[in-house]
Amino acid sequence: MKPIVIFLFFILCSSMSVFGQSKETLNLEISNLKAQVQTLDQKNQELVVKTATLQKDIEFLQRQIDELKAQRLASPVPPASNNSVPSGYPTVPSTQQAPPPPPPAAVKTTGQYGRCRATTQKGTQCSRNAKSNGFCYQHDGV
């Protein structure tokens, strides 16, 4: 054998071994990647299931929102104002219900000679009608 042939054979053997080692490394990486892909696939499937569950929840909530909207449309009572009469409540006709306006106080309580000028025991002016002397029958002559 010539030395060059031995050298070439050595080169070939070493390159083959290097190639084999790199191939094993590649196979290892490929298997690792496959495992990662499987893990990601599992996680993806879990997420798909979760997404479906969330979509069902969203649909359920959307139905509830629609029902609440329909209920509000059926009875549009503003919850903030408690004093307002509900729309379904029968309103009394104004001609029947309206009380007559109170007459002016002077006409009602004061007589021909005005109000009694005497002061009561409470310290307020007497509310009775006065006679010609400016006092009521009770404070007359006081």
Residues that bind Zn ion (CB under 5 A): 116, 118, 126, 128, 136, 139
Q: Cβ closer to Zn ion: 10 or 137?
A: 137
Tell me how far, at minimum, the Cβ of 125 lies from Zn ion, in Å. Answer: 8
Answer for the pair 118, 126: CB distance below 8 angstroms, yes or no: yes
Give me the least distance between CB of 123 and Zn ion, in Å please. Answer: 13
Please say which residue, 73 or 142, places its beta carbon nearer to Zn ion.
142
What's the rounded Cα separation, in Å, for the pair 116 and 122? 15
Integer Cα distance of 124 and 121 in angstroms: 8
Place of tokens 């080169």: 11
Q: Toward Zn ion, which CB reaches closer, 73 or 105?
A: 105
CB of 85 to Zn ion, least distance (A): 45
Q: What is the distance between the alpha carbons of residues 111 and 105, in angstroms, rounded to a whole number?
A: 11
